[in-house]
Structure 1
Amino acid sequence: MDTPVEQVLYEVKKTIVGQDVLLERLLVALLSRGHILVEGVPGLAKTLAVKALAGAIGGQFHRVQFTPDLVPADILGTRVYHQRTGEFQVSLGPVFTNLLLADEINRAPAKVQSALLEVMQEQQVTIGRETHQVPRPFLVMATQNPIESEGTYPLPEAQVDRFMMKVVVGYPSATEEFVIVERAISPDPVTQAVINPERLIEMQAQVEQVYVDPALIEYSVRLANATRRPAEVGLADLGRYVSFGASPRASINLILAARALAFVRGRDYVVPHDATELVLDVFRHRLVLSYEALSDDVSADAVLTRVMAALPVPDAPMRKVAVG
């Protein structure tokens, strides 16, 4: 009997070819109540992946195309005056959904980015004097196009830090692209809801019960600390490349994401590989690199790979031993 997670993935893969990492990370973010930033060129099925996932969990899906003329009310909602009654009524914006796709988030000005990131953090919107909770579960997937920088407003570090993960999506293989073209000229498959939002909320509660060995928590803290003070792990030469290391949100989110990844893979305890596999996705957008790193073409991934190589990974922890 397939687990609910396997059923969701199977249903989404009827529509999406490849993109296994993106789909797995989307599920991890959804199960750990995080949000995800995706960087990739146009045409890589980012929108389709979120839409198919929303269909498989029986949730609502909204897409907002971010543009320079967007204002916060366009995504949050506003008060509308009705002349007949002489009263204001609240019109809720597209943020009131289960899965929100913020397409090309860096094309909107800072006040719109801030409005979205506030609802991501608080899970609520205040319009006038009324506070409205967004539906649960709630996931924001924001996309960025890495090849166009004209007319964009880069996300400030303090705001990009709110995203649990930043996933870099690459081109499909030749075999995958053949299947993509084949499917494009066939009738679109209909995504069936295999679970409902209430079941997903139950699964989120189950993820919170997944056991994490203290050695793995210590490992995540040492990783974050090593990005701030690389000299302490024998990487003094990296100091000139990193202006600011990862914030405490990095170590917190690494453990939260590892717990969800263990659940996705059918375990009730986290193994070291769950954490190490997610380090780049959780940490890469939290490093502020210096101009020297840009001039030497040193990426955040390159810095993190060296930091990981310098730190010993804990021995595989077993399940929590019952006492009594």
Structure 2
Amino acid sequence: MISNANEDSNPGEETSMNYTIDAIAKELGLSKTTVSRAISGKGRISESTRQRVADFIKEINYMPSAVARSLAASKTFNIGLIFPQDSTLDEMPYFQDVMVGVCEAAMDHDYDVLNILADNNDIHSLDRAITNKKIDGLIVSRCIKDSRVIEYLKDKELPYVVLGNPLEEGILYVDNDNKTAARRMMEALIDQHMKKFALIGGNESFFVTQSRLEGYLEGLNKRGIDVNENLIFLNAHRGERLKSIVSTILENEVDCIVCMDDVLCNNTLLFLQTSGVSVPKDVKLVSYYDSKLLLNHTPSITSLYFDSKYLGAQGVDVLMRKIDGKVAQSRILTDFNLQMRESTR
């Protein structure tokens, strides 16, 4: 055995600090290539040799360095998580939860996460990470129509998974069942004797906007409520438009305002309160997405809860299957909760 440099170590406490693949190869009388194959689990060597190496590295508590591990496995052991550069501060709770889920899941696979800023305006960081071979795969955190990021990735051999359904064959994705959740919310509200609704939605280029719209319409139809197209407002995220929309809705004396996300709901509630409109006495209010942004409001807001951390973690699970050469399939997550609170009572 090669002696440990630490003379003060107790017998039996020898560590791998001074061991390299070269040193292990010499100790066992094997080639460096054979040892690398045994450690990585790849390459054609006998099972007895593989076991011999495994027993030895366990005995010395050997842990390969990140560089050695990467070289042995022909991997970087990094995945990229793409965030849009044009995301707003209000969107951070969602992206933060996704990031935590991705990082925790990646850790379970002994992978690190490289955050990358890229969107339709700029993909230089993404191109650099791929060109310099810094990552083994990617998670795309936002799914939009005509995505420059996704179009770029289609031409690359690198595995990637989109959070959100891009409605396109051949693209791996993980998404919440937004359509069913929105439908179930509408059915629950109608069952509470609400009949007249207005819908406020965000960017219609986001696929999630379309899914939630479909669920809204389906819920009304299933309960026999006529759809008033004049009370459906999309792209309400733009500038001062929301105030005008809410004013129009109030003039139509609806029972309930349905907002597609927490940001729109938060801003709608603030406008209602400053206008002297009482929620839920004068009008009910609902959000299709529950987050920390709505946490401390009075009244508390009826909303749909999705576990964004779990969404991110499932994205990693699908991606790792693809990276490891296993069968990888897209997933629709059906777990959600209807949070019925004060704003609809």
Whether TM-score is above 0.5 comes out as no
The higher radius of gyration belongs to 2
Higher relative contact order (CA 8 A, sep 6+): 1
Q: With structure 1 as the length reference, what TM-score do the two structures score? A: 0.28
Q: With structure 2 as the length reference, what TM-score do the two structures score? A: 0.27
